[in-house]
Amino acid sequence: MALREFKLPDPGEGLTEADIVTWHVAVGDTVKVNDVVVEIETAKSLVELPVPFAGTVSALHVAEGDTVEVGTAIITVDDGVGGPAAPAAPAPAAAQEPAAPAASAASGSDGEEIGEGLIGGTTSTGRTAVLVGYGVKQTEAVRRPRKGAAAPAAAPAPAASPSPAAAPTAAPAPAPVQKSTNVSISAQPEGATGARALAKPPVRKLAKDLGVDLGSVTPTGDGGVVTRADVEAAAAGAGADGEWSHAYADGDPDDITTRSGADRMGVREVRTPIKGVRKHTAQAMVASAFTAPHVTEWVTVDVTATMDLVENLKRDREFRDVKVTPLLVLAKAMCVAVRRNPGINAAWDEAAQEIVLKHYVNLGIAAATPRGLVVPNIKDADRMTMRELADAIAALTATAREGRTPPADMSGGTLTITNVGVFGVDAGTPILNPGESAILAFGSVTRRPWVVGTGADERIEPRWVTTLALSFDHRLVDGELGSRFLADVAALLADPARGLVWG
């Protein structure tokens, strides 16, 4: 047999690490080339990783929730080359080197195999395997039938030879237990004793959700495996003692749904690790706030005509199958205003000491997701029709809410909209997305008394009104340019027909 390690690949965009979110396989499962085996979270998005070779899963080297650096081995697969796989634990490190490349594959400089059916190569159906947003899933991982513990297929190998990453360091269990129970072993010590607890991935997730330290749980399963009942019993005991101060709830203190009301009353502090999207956002906002000199201007505008346009578009056959909102009109208005004020669509190149004027608009739409704020952008939004822009916004927001926006969609932005109005907020002072020149906050659209008409016809009527707040980088956008751009956007929302003249 040949044991092959799959290492965490480079997700690009300068990222050097990722968090393990969900394992889709367990030890003993059979996988085929390009089966998705794990879901990871980078600093920008969730990514599904396909395995580049086929075989039987021999070991999972990291647990859900672990932060792993690029190049770290995360899973070992027995490809079955050289004879049937032994039921023992993974062979020594010398046997875990990747097998020699097949005749149909070329060997890359980093030692990873590339070629037919592998990541970046071509599958048997002629499709290309990719890392981010991979959608060509030829097969599903097949769970290997469990073997009876009393009648193993072959005698287990001595327990003294398993690799450190695949067996516990204290009181090691026989290898057949690991294979027959599909147990995942964390690469990080758990508990004060440093022993690694044996538990299936779903049990590990349950322990994480309940704030239970697996290293402190007394296992009752065969071979010292921690069961779901063990975790629930430990959680019940901790709840009775009020020991919940260290618990996590997937990063959301209000999402502790597994506890009783009395348990929640005992929670005085909830600590959430700063990682993934939230960590990246924090670093980017600090860098932006203390690098680009921000200026923010506001304008309050009567958008009754825009609201009438939205209602008309909803009834239009061309827009029947797409969601039409005031945000769509604002997005189009910003693209039109950029044509009248091209200097607003620029970037500051500190290294070259140049202002880079861009003749394309990659319009970012800030989206709140369960994992934090992300800002994917619509490439070449200025070249799109209103219907094309509506489709692009719908696809962008849906993907962002699922947490599956690829890193490429969050780079290269030029301008951004942050729609604070959906939260009932009137206005704000948004911070620039790094590398961009301006960001516009779209406040809530509400009915307010407004003066309409002039002279003898002047009167007060209830109108749809909103506030726009534009923050811009004062190094490359002066007050005149920023004011003219904001005034043009406001004018287009007050009278969308102007777009026919200006566009």
Pairwise pLDDT comparison (265 vs 384), residue with the higher score: 384
pLDDT tens digits for 423-443? 999 999 999 988 899 999 999
* Matching fold, domains 3-185 and 189-273: no
Confidence of residue 237 (pLDDT cuts 50, 70, 90): low
Q: How far is CA 450 from CA 248, 364, 456, 489, in A?
A: 48, 32, 16, 19
Token reading at 274: 């700063």
pTM, 2 dp: 0.55
Segment 60-87 shows an average pLDDT of: 80
Strands 354-357 and 184-185: unpaired
d(CA 423, CA 255): 20
Architecture of domain 3-185: Beta Barrel (2.40)
Percent of the chain with pLDDT over 70: 67
pLDDT tens digits for 4-43? 999 998 766 566 788 888 899 999 999 999 899 998 887 6
User: DSSP string of 191-233?
Assistant: STT-PPPEE-HHHHHHHHHHT--GGGS---STTSEEPHHHHHH
pLDDT at position 478: 92
Q: How buried is 491 (Cβ within 10 angstroms: 0-12 exposed, 13-18 middle, 19+ buried)?
A: middle
pLDDT at position 417: 96
pLDDT tens digits for 251-263? 333 333 344 444 4
Pairwise pLDDT comparison (294 vs 262), residue with the higher score: 294
**Letter for the amino acid at 40?**
I
Q: Is 474 a catalytic residue?
A: yes
What are the extents of the domains in the chain?
Answer: 3-185, 189-273, 277-502
pLDDT at position 19: 85
pLDDT tens digits for 185-236? 333 434 434 456 787 766 776 777 777 888 888 888 877 888 888 887 887 7
User: DSSP string of 82-124?
Assistant: TSPPPSSSPPPGGGGSPPPPPTTEEEPTTS-EEETTSBTSB-T
Helix, strand, or coil (residue 133) = coil
Give the CATH number of domain 189-273. 4.10.320.10
pLDDT at position 184: 41
Class of CATH domain 277-502: alpha beta
